[in-house]
Amino acid sequence: MPIPVECDHCGWKGSVKDSLASMKTKCVSCGERFFVEEPADDIQAKRAALAEGGAHTTKSGSVAGGVAIGVVMMIVAVAWFVGGLAVNHIYIYPPIMFVLGLIQVIRSLVGRPN
């Protein structure tokens, strides 16, 4: 659903795609960049869901998606490391990948964006 906006510099009024919420965009009239506010009803709905202990969601998806990606990264890292040990070769990348997967899981659970 389009978001109604107004340019802070020239006063141009129009609408932009909802994917631009909470981002800066360029005015079609004067070319200056301005911030696109998230619609108030979306903000209030998110706050109400958080207050009720509902699902934490981000623009790109839910917490479960971020946790799943992190867990998959850790599993692949362990398999890669064990596979390397099986052929008497130690790879440096699996521990790094494991730590990145762990960071992804923690960030998803804390609620920070990816």
Entry pTM: 0.45
Distance between CA atoms of residues 34 and 41, nearest Å: 21
Q: What pLDDT sits at residue 72?
A: 94
Distance between CA atoms of residues 114 and 60, nearest Å: 8
Q: Band of the pLDDT at 18, cuts 50, 70, 90?
A: confident
Calculate the average pLDDT of the chain: 81
| DSSP state letters, the chain | --EEEE-TTT--EEEE-GGGTTEEEE-TTT--EEEEPPPHHHHHHHHHHHHTT---EETTEEHHHHHHHHHHHHHHHHHHHHHHHHTT---SHHHHHHHHHHHHHHHHHHT---
